[in-house]
Structure 1
Amino acid sequence: MAVKKIGKQTVKLQNPPSIIAYASVVGPKEGDGPLKEYFDQIEQDDYLGEKCWEKAECKMLQNAIILAMQKAKITTADVDYLLAGDLLNQIISSSFTARQLQIPYIGLYGACSTMSESLSLGALLIDGGFADYVIAATSSHFSSAERQYRFPLELGTQRPLTAQWTVTGAGATVLSSSGDGPYITYITTGRVLDLGIKDANNMGAAMAPAAVDTIKTHFSDTGFGPDDYDLIITGDLAKIGKDLTLELLKKDGIDISNIYTDCGIEIYDCERQDTHAGGSGCGCSAVVLNGYILTEIKKGTFKRVLFMATGALLSTTSSQQGESIPGIAHAVTIEMR
């Protein structure tokens, strides 16, 4: 019997896991943005000394995981599971990182929702008594993602104003069955929604309906409302997606405008850094969570946060075949007690 499930899509954890450590590694552009003081490691070279961008992304993810373990004062032998994913075909950044670290590994693909997906599943493993230490992690790299999903960078293709800038960054969170918090207390697993958006340069519009659906479901399942949260933050809807989310929620009588922002907006100074609509990529929500959000929760700025990374579940194949872009959003409640 699913005694921990409440409502349609939400789980209330009976033994909430504690976030005992976290780490973020970013590239030079992200390190020049508004959140630079929150990042553990700012790389000055997009290649990280490697021969290609894909290997650079893998190294960045390894660095974030190792740094998080060092902060938690644990080793790879202590970790029960590594849950990780990324944007590249066959999630090679995560799989090759797991090859290097030799931690029992579950590879995930939720596109840019992977940070909240990995947190969700890691929390369930600990709450269910299957693990004591779980690492949830993900990464993205502007150059590796752009040449996979869009155009060779050498073309210098002009980007429309609706486009977002894929974050070069990696984040890792260490979850434990014991600790002083912050704690993961609720998980709302999203549904795949698709309202027919086909423009791969307008991800915010494609993902916003899924974000709206998950927020509404979370409130319905838990009985919470906007007043119960200090911050609601989505992952890389950026400016266009954020505005659509607010508009669609208001049509249903829900106003979260006073407490709502998006990782894709916070990560860059869009005008000064010329990122158009804002940031995107798995690394976007990962580094904002494992830099800004968790640090401010530990400081006491936020007591309860709804963290909801969003993902566009497209591929180069589906786009070339004229398919629309499905969206997903998973929500995780993180709070101090």
Structure 2
Amino acid sequence: MTKKKIGRQTVKLLNPPSILATYSIVGPKEGEGPLSNYFHHILQDDLYGEDSWEKAESKMLKEAVKSAVMEARLTLEDIDYLFAGDLLNQLMSSTFAARDLQIPYFGLFGACSTMAQALSLAAMMIDGGYGHHIIATTSSHFSSAERQFRFPLELGNQRPLTTQWTVTGAGAAVIAQRGKGPYITHITTGKVLDYGIIDANNMGAAMAPAAVDTIRAHFEDIGNSPDEYDLIITGDLGKIGRNIAGDLLRKEGINVEKKLKDCGVEIFDHDKQDTHAGGSGCGCSAVVFSGYLYKMLKEKRFNKILLVSTGALLSPTSIQQGESIPSIAHAVTIEGGLDG
């Protein structure tokens, strides 16, 4: 019997699921960035017609799911499972959206790594024969995250240059048993690492070692070369974390410098938009994948990418108690075709 598990952390999908459709919704600031032409919907108001930022975030996630399903020419009744997550306590955005969507629901928390986690679990469920159509989705909102993890916006606190700007956005993908691609072919599940970083305003430094560990494990398990990929893109290391990851990978003997990008760097124009170290949040890799990366794969401008969503597993309680920041990264190989 052919084994799907290869190496310590990686799974090879024998019947690679197809990503039928995606949908991305972003806030006004994200809509002013360099990837604006790739997003499906740009909000004019980050309250999205609601009376709180938390409700607006949940609405973004719900509408991203509904729109992705429509893009796939399906109905909500065609969806077997919903894998969703966000940053808020008790997965508020995802749970309240799932309440309205009425799709069998798995709530996930991997901090900002949750999109790759959702894609991983959805693909394994499809490959295992446990469903025909599954949604993977995540969301975040700058204002709801600031209120939970940092300070009330009304205080107008000065942000250190190492901080990142939580992306306001939601991305959703329909994973299917059959389709014309792009396909999810490999999954490398990360481990929780903690190098003692205690500064919640420098999450890129906390997450970079986890990204490096997962990327290294991916290539060790599969035995292939970074040269086979058009792009290796982390979720939200930002400028500081991305540079640290590049240095650590070089020390590991993994030369990906020309192919290593970061969603948090790509989504904003840092010179014009004053986002300091870059973007972050569950919605960061979700909207960059569901908007920009998916379209590049569909247009065959990329044939094979490695999406490595990164997450800082801190909480308001852990920070208040002086704990360091555990981090994780999950990697998903997505290919435009199955020829190689």
Q: Normalising by the residue count of structure 2, what TM-score does the alignment of the two structures yield?
A: 0.98
Counterpart CA distance in 2 for 1:15 and 1:197 is: 40
Secondary structure of the residue aligned to 2:331 is strand
Following TM superposition, where does structure 1 have runs of at least 4 consecutive aligned residues deviating by more than 4 angstroms? none
Structure 1 unaligned segments of length 5 or more: list them: none
The code of the aligned residue for 1:56 comes to: A
Q: Is 1:18 equivalent to 2:48 in the alignment? A: no
Secondary structure of the residue aligned to 1:302 is coil
The code of the aligned residue for 2:290 comes to: N
Secondary structure of the residue aligned to 2:112 is helix
- What value does the CA root-mean-square deviation take over the aligned residues? 0.8
In structure 1, the partner of 2:147 is: 147
Q: Count matched residues.
A: 337
How far off its partner does 1:336 sit? Answer: 1.7
In structure 2, the partner of 1:192 is: 192
Counterpart CA distance in 2 for 1:26 and 1:224 is: 35
Counterpart CA distance in 1 for 2:281 and 2:84 is: 14
The code of the aligned residue for 2:185 comes to: T
Counterpart CA distance in 2 for 1:61 and 1:303 is: 28
Secondary structure of the residue aligned to 1:232 is strand
Q: Is 1:106 equivalent to 2:144 in the alignment? A: no
Counterpart CA distance in 1 for 2:2 and 2:53 is: 44
Secondary structure of the residue aligned to 1:136 is strand
In structure 2, the partner of 1:306 is: 306
Deviations 1:194-238 (A, max 9, x none): 000000000100000000000000000001221010000000001
The code of the aligned residue for 1:191 comes to: K
Counterpart CA distance in 2 for 1:93 and 1:58 is: 4
In structure 1, the partner of 2:34 is: 34
Counterpart CA distance in 1 for 2:223 and 2:301 is: 23
Structure 2 unaligned segments of length 5 or more: list them: none
Deviations 1:53-84 (A, max 9, x none): 00000111111111100000111110000000
Q: Is 1:50 equivalent to 2:50 in the alignment? A: yes
Q: Is 1:317 equivalent to 2:317 in the alignment? A: yes
The code of the aligned residue for 1:23 comes to: Y
Secondary structure of the residue aligned to 1:122 is helix
Deviations 1:93-123 (A, max 9, x none): 0000000000000000000000000000000
In structure 2, the partner of 1:97 is: 97
In structure 1, the partner of 2:170 is: 170
Counterpart CA distance in 2 for 1:211 and 1:225 is: 17
Secondary structure of the residue aligned to 1:112 is coil
In structure 1, the partner of 2:8 is: 8
The code of the aligned residue for 1:183 comes to: Y
Secondary structure of the residue aligned to 2:22 is strand
Q: Normalising by the residue count of structure 1, what TM-score does the alignment of the two structures yield?
A: 0.99
Counterpart CA distance in 1 for 2:336 and 2:45 is: 36
In structure 1, the partner of 2:284 is: 284
Identity %, equivalent residues: 66
Counterpart CA distance in 2 for 1:225 and 1:64 is: 35
How far off its partner does 1:2 sit? Answer: 8.6
The code of the aligned residue for 1:246 comes to: G
Deviations 1:150-202 (A, max 9, x none): 00110000000000000000000000000000000000000000000000000
The code of the aligned residue for 2:5 comes to: K
In structure 2, the partner of 1:181 is: 181
In structure 1, the partner of 2:84 is: 84
In structure 2, the partner of 1:69 is: 69
